[in-house]
Chains A and B, each alone.
Chain A
Amino acid sequence: MNKLIQNEMMKLIAKKRLVVIALIIGVLVILFTYAQYKEIQTQRERLGTDDWRTAVQQNIVDITNRLSSSRISEEWKKQLKISLQQQQYYLDHDINPAEPGASTFMRIFLENAIDMLIPLMVMVIASDLVSSEYSQGTVKLLLTRPVKRWKVLLSKYITLCFAVSLIVAIAGFLSYILSGVVFGYKGFGTPILTGFNISDEALNTANVKLLSLWKFLLMDFGLVWFVAIVVGTLSFMLSVLIRSTAAGMGVMLAALISGAILSNMVSSWESAKYLFMVNLRLTDYMKGTAPPIEGMNLSFSMSVLLVWWAAALLVSFIVFTKRDVY
């Protein structure tokens, strides 16, 4: 097994996909850093101060005003209300919800990358892990060795898990190192709040906990990793089922994009919560924003994702070991 994993890692590195992914993430991080920097600047100009309390207060007033508008949907109103209460809570407890610094940038980057960017990057690797062997024809060599097929596939899957771990790590490192140039390398010790519960329209703050940002980040990373593994496993399955890398990627891409769109409009279609793609924003539960569909919480989303994960893995192994190779 060890040797098989070595083989897969060798191929993974030789393909230089990870380098490409690192480059993509790097460029995006630079873009986001610049955008964030600009945003801070305009905010400073608008408010005439760097004082975060003023900014939060202003934000609260802005949200309150938006709430009074009759043009916004009920759903959006609910989200705003929760966000409002949360901001107020931060302000009342004198905690900056977005302490400037590379570590906060990293947190925001992770929270926004969890349902699109990271899954996309994982897909780049996962979707051709198996199908490339088919399209290159090397599968014929791979499967005519005295090694059981499930072992071959397992070595590929373990390699995928490694690659996912690396991608998440790369995203973390790059977002910290590159944004730190602008925002400064600090802020791991700053406090952050977690444990907000959303019940109906109100924010339940009974279980709110104070955490150091580094602890919060580690948890965020864990959740991002979990999501990446599930998405990776699904595109891994497609890679086994569909022998064309492009087709597999297309299907997965469509699923991810539809997830992003659906999250904004499925509030009335309740059974949509069993789709994997609306359950990807796990970090939101940590932060305490309203879920897209009533009744979703961390354990629900994780169970849904786990079921999808297990099914995908099962299908991959059954199909791969049973299928004739032409």
Chain B
Amino acid sequence: MEKKITLSVKDLRKVIGRREIIKGLTFDLREGEVFGFLGPNGAGKTTTIRMLVGLIKPTSGSIHICGYNIAEDFQKALRNLGCIVENPELYPYLSGYNNLLHFSRMINGVGEERIKEVTKLVGLADRIDDKVKTYSLGMRQRLGIAQALLGNPKVLILDEPTNGLDPAGIREMRNFIRFLAEKEGLSVLVSSHLLSEIQLLCDRVAIITKGTIIRTDSVEKLLSNRERMEWRLEPYLKGKEVLSSLTKIEEKEDGMIWTEFNEEKIPHWNKQLVEAGISVMEMNRKMPVLEDLFLELTGGETIE
């Protein structure tokens, strides 16, 4: 069964001065999915996100959140949206609780019960009465998420959610986002310029560069046929010789040899190697990296 569409963007354009920054984006978000927005810095991710949350008016095109057009039904549309744009900049001179109180007052029907709920959900219960200026970056990020969740949104938009976090924090954030999507059924749109992050976090991904989406697909589909097999052979030279007679190989600096990943042929290659008296010390299935994919799709444009 096809899941409900929560965010729908059609032919979104933004012209600033004479320059077209965003050149017609179209994509949908479905319930319970994490959608990745991937592109190098300056590709138009932030501008797009700011248009989605109503900070920037699109030159043309439409944005619907849960069926409400953001240009016409701003309040109803935004009622279903939670977001953090760039860093979660909260009021440093207010306590965490007062920050949440502040934002809850701007959403109809959100009371103090809900504030307590989201505080517990992001695990800030014991520090919520301290001033935000005493918080660490990770705590601010969590408080940011808490404010985004206040109104029980259907769509959550996170701009670079792991920016500036330490590895533990990144893992924590990733788990939390997955939890929100899978258990709470939220649609989450995550933007990032880090490939690894999108790869680990998202169900689907849109690759954006220079204001256009060059590819939208599920992560699996994008990655299939691009998997590699990694071999460690002993002795190396002889092993290389045998393997290269069977298929195309790539030599890596760390003494590994990469071939394509082909489920049907691999047992055969293995057998050949063993028969030739070569010990296969390691065989690893290598997931591809979006870096390669990106290079492939954009034809050599590099990203950070």
A positions within 8 Å CB-CB of B: 3-4, 6-7, 10-11, 14-15, 136-138, 140-148, 322, 324-326
Whether, in the assembled complex, B39 has its beta carbon less than 8 Å from a beta carbon of chain A, the answer is no
Query: B62-83 interface mask toward A, CB cutoff 8 Å, 1 = contact, 0 = none?
Result: 0000000000001111110101
Contacts of A146 in B (CB 8 A): 74-79, 106-108, 151
Q: Does B286 contact A (CB under 8 A)?
A: no
Q: Give the tally of cross-chain contacts (CB within 8 A).
A: 81
Query: Is the beta-carbon distance between A144 and B79 smaller than 8 angstroms?
Result: no
- CB pair B55 A325 closer than 8 Å: yes
> How many chain B residues touch the partner (CB < 8 A)?
34
Contact A140 B107, CB 8 Å, known A146-B75, A146-B78, A148-B75 = no
Q: A136-B89, A144-B85, A146-B75 are in contact. Are A10 and B55 (CB under 8 A)?
A: no
Say whether B103 faces chain A, with CB atoms less than 8 Å apart: yes
Contacts of A4 in B (CB 8 A): 105-106
Q: Are A145 and B89 in contact (CB under 8 A)?
A: no
> Which A-chain residue is minimally distant from B105 (CB atoms)?
A3
Q: Give 1 or 0 for each of B97-111: 1 = CB within 8 Å of chain A CB.
A: 010011101111000
A-B contact list, 10 entries, CB within 8 Å: A3-B106, A6-B105, A7-B106, A136-B89, A136-B91, A141-B89, A146-B78, A146-B107, A325-B50, A325-B56
Contacts of A138 in B (CB 8 A): 89-91
Q: Which of A14, A140, A322 contacts B91 (CB 8 A)?
A: A14
Residue B27 at the A interface, CB < 8 A? no
Measured CB to CB, the nearest residue on chain A to B94 is A14
Report the bound CA distance from A144 to B77 in whole Å: 10
User: Which residue numbers of B lie inside 8 Å of A, CB to CB?
Assistant: 50, 53-57, 74-79, 81, 83, 85-94, 98, 101-103, 105-108, 147, 151
Q: How far is the CA of A147 from the CA of B91 in the complex (A)?
A: 19
Cβ contacts under 8 Å, A14 to chain B: 91, 93-94, 98
Closest beta carbon of chain B to A148's beta carbon, Å? 7
Which of B53, B90, B91 is the one whose CB lies under 8 Å from A144? B53
Q: Are B106 and A145 closer than 8 Å at their CB atoms?
A: yes
Q: Which of A3, A137, A143, A147 contacts B87 (CB 8 A)?
A: A137
Contact at A137–B102, with CB atoms within 8 Å?
no
- Please indicate the chain B residues that have their CB under 8 angstroms from the CB of A137 in the complex: 86-87, 89
Given A138-B89, A325-B50: A10 in contact with B94 (beta carbons within 8 A): yes
Q: Is the CB of A144 within 8 A of B78?
A: yes
* A residues in contact with B81, CB < 8 Å: 144
Are A140 and B85 touching (Cβ within 8 A)? yes
Report A-chain residues with C-beta under 8 Å of the C-beta of B50: 140, 324-326
- Residue on B with the closest CB to A15? B93
Q: Which residue of A lies closest to B56 (CB)?
A: A324
Inter-chain CA distance A324–B17, complex, in Å, is 13
Contact A144 B54 (CB under 8 A): yes
- Which chain B residues lie closer than 8 Å to A11 at the CB level? 91, 93-94, 102
Closest-by-CB residue of B relative to A11 is B91
Task: In the A-B complex, list the 4 residue pairs whose CB atoms are closest, starting with the nearest.
Answer: A137-B89, A145-B106, A3-B105, A146-B78
CA distance A197 to B277 in the complex (A): 117
Q: Which residue of A lies closest to B147 (CB)?
A: A141
Least Cβ distance of A140 to chain B in Å?
Answer: 4
Complex formed: what's the CA distance from A326 to B81 in Å? 19
Instruction: Provide the bound-state CA to CA distance between A14 and B90, in Å.
Output: 14
- Residues of chain A within 8 A of B77, CB atoms compared: 146
Q: How far is the CB of B169 from chain A (nearest CB, A)?
A: 20
Q: Is the CB of B105 within 8 A of A7?
A: yes
